[in-house]
Structure 1
Amino acid sequence: MRQPTVLICGAGIAGPTLGFWLGRRGFRPTVVERARGLRSSGNPVDVHGAATEVARQMGILPRLQEAATHAPGLTFVAPSGRSTGPLRLGRPRGDDVEIPRADLADILCKAAGDSTEFLFGESVTGLKADDAGADVTFEHAAPRRFDLVVGADGLHSTVRNLAFGPEARFVHPLGLYIATLSLGQPAAHPSTVVMYNQPGLSLTIHPVRGTAGAGFIFRGPKSPGPEYRDPRVQRRIVLQAYTRYRWPVPELPDLTGQVRDAEDMYFDAISQVSLPRWSKGRVTLLGDAASCVSLFGDGSSLAMIGAQTLAEALGAAPEDPTTALRRYESRHRKVVAARQRGYRLGAALLVPATRAGLTARNLAVRLFPR
């Protein structure tokens, strides 16, 4: 029996998880990734709830636990300098882990490697689907035909753009921005995440695993202009927002210089993705490409859960992908829907817009368990 071929675009979290499960269900998955290697972003993400069980079934949970950040405390610092915490606020429980995103992606790719073809430094340039499959052209490789194409290529998905239409139709900025960078030095508080706030701004120092990372989440224009994709503009936006205040952050003695000179800064507008359907013929979407979610770090866990759900649906009906994709979307939309509604609470908690809001937030968190 011929093995169905599946092209998966994106080697982040969803892509290699899907490759792992499809390979074990008799498919031939190929993962294509624009970057020449795994991304270096060390931003911590959570693997929790049902995603922890996915990791256990994949046999990678011990490796995730070895790479975990082990920073269970969260301390809020008010503009006055007063600290509240450390609190156990939303930290992993039981076998759940918090892990640098790059380490999670690396572990997932290695787990999928024995049954999945990986093409790094490659990208999809054209996609023409019909009732039996899809013809795909690449930037460098020869054109190929696949039985199914999965866009697991994130918020700014190329597959979604080619198959469903322009990004502006489906990606809705929330008026919040995020920037992260590695500070290249240990955190002053090695077991605690410290969040500093001013109205409309948060600056978080995470100890990660010995090399601190800085996270900037801040309020800005609801509709970012196209120029915000330029790294020079991104640095200017961050500095314009944060240099209005003095920040008592020992890890950032030269905020202007450290942001300006950062080689690995990640920047984007925080957005939600909403489509009336995730599949179109032999093309489907997974992870952030289909349903970018809230500010609570659910994206990686939902990506792993969605990948397993999609693989299960395809494995149950390999000769009827239309039915399989419909079942996948029906099941996973229910999981995603509640998380997508949580962004207003997340914004109010992480980035209160006013000084009064900051005061109210800080009073409320003092009631949380220590």
Structure 2
Amino acid sequence: MDARGRRKASLPPDFAGGEVEIRRGDLSRVLYEASRDTTEYLFGDHITSLTETPGGVDVTFKHAPARTFDLVIGADGMHSGVRALAFGEEARFSRFMGAYFASFSAGPLEREGELVTYNAPGRFVSAGLLVFRTEQLLDYDRQDVEVQKRIVAGAYTGAGWRTGEIIEAMLAAPDFYLDSISQIRMEQFTDGRVALLGDAGHGATIGGMGTGLGIVGAYVLAGELAAAGGDHRVAFPRYQELMRPYAWGSMGNAGKFLAPRGKRGILLRNQMVKLMSCGPVIKMMGRMDMKVASNITLPDYEG
């Protein structure tokens, strides 16, 4: 929409949808319920140190007693604590893409089956998702949600359209989340008895197929460990060999598309959207997306 609420361009659901869609929270519940009978879960805790020994990895936790494990798999996201302990600080591997996003529940402002969006220069607005451009990383406490909400509200001052209503919904939302649009790119995401999985080893915020890559990576890692009889010295290199080109080929920068910097950029993007809404173009893009999403030969692991 433009600032007066007039429709400027639109895309069919095929653009961002697949044959099956599932919310991340539902996926987490499904995976937890399928594994809880054979898996020990420690909630509300995190690893504070890792020490590799010839026979395993000595692990200390913030709350639970120290333990020794055969392997440690860091599947803890873009800001992985395991990666920081085993491979070094995040800044070594993270590339900031010039934008931030905030997601939240917007209640009655959200339209069932339709995502209505608006752009001011450098800012993308929708009920439940905000994207804004900035030249450098912001300095804030990742645990202080109220400060983060004020930062986002300040970035949208004078944006126009229904932005004020959406910001009010954001300020009241109980599930607010703010993060940079960044990429995690590592030449090696295994080291000794430690391996990284999903966004921890190859993340790309928004448009990086993060959930899908995490699931595929888990399948490959588990399969390779099983095929190698649990020998990480054989399984980890094979896991990395299969996953790295697949993960790197899926990385993009959604910030440029969602939040063009100036009015001319918004106009050009809207013209692109109109072109993309044509049936043949949508089909072509769908084929390209499927090529990226399936650009890995998955071994059929036995057992």
Q: TM-score by structure 2 length?
A: 0.84
Q: TM-score by structure 1 length?
A: 0.70
Alignment of 1:197-216 (within 5 A): 197-205=119-127, 214-216=128-130
User: How many residues end up aligned between the 2 structures?
Assistant: 277
Q: Does 2:211 match 1:303? A: no
Alignment of 1:89-108 (within 5 A): 89-94=14-19, 96-97=20-21, 99-108=22-31
Q: Is the 8 A contact 2:198 2:210 kept in 1?
A: yes
The verdict on how the C-alpha distance between 1:90 and 1:129 changes in structure 2, with shifts beyond 3 A counting, is farther
Q: Secondary structure at the match of 2:10?
A: strand
Which structure is higher in strand share?
1
Unpaired segments ≥5 residues, structure 1: 1-76, 206-213
Unpaired segments ≥5 residues, structure 2: 280-303
Alignment of 1:234-313 (within 5 A): 234-248=148-162, 253=165, 255-293=166-204, 295-296=206-207, 298-313=209-224
Q: Is the 8 A contact 2:57 2:72 kept in 1?
A: yes
CA separation in 1, counterparts of 2:60 and 2:194?
Answer: 14
What's the CA shift for 1:129? 1.1
What's the CA shift for 1:240? 1.2
Task: State the match for 1:334 in structure 2.
Answer: 245
Task: State the match for 2:297 in structure 1.
Answer: none
CA separation in 2, counterparts of 1:287 and 1:218?
Answer: 25
- 1:305-363 CA deviation, whole Å, 9 max, x = no partner? 111011111111124211200100110112111112x22xx333211111111111111
CA separation in 1, counterparts of 2:173 and 2:205?
Answer: 26
What's the CA shift for 1:128? 0.5
Residue 268 (structure 2) aligned to one of 360, 364, 368: 360
Q: Is the 8 A contact 1:130 1:282 kept in 2?
A: no
Residue 232 (structure 1) aligned to one of 125, 139, 146: 146
What's the CA shift for 1:295? 2.7
The amino acid that maps onto 2:5 is G
Q: Is the 8 A contact 2:55 2:70 kept in 1?
A: yes
What's the CA shift for 1:286? 0.5
Residue 104 (structure 2) aligned to one of 164, 181, 190: 181
Task: State the match for 2:284 in structure 1.
Answer: none
The verdict on how the C-alpha distance between 1:186 and 1:223 changes in structure 2, with shifts beyond 3 A counting, is closer
Deviating beyond 6 angstroms after TM superposition, the runs of 4 or more aligned structure 1 residues are: none
Residue 165 (structure 1) aligned to one of 76, 84, 88: 88
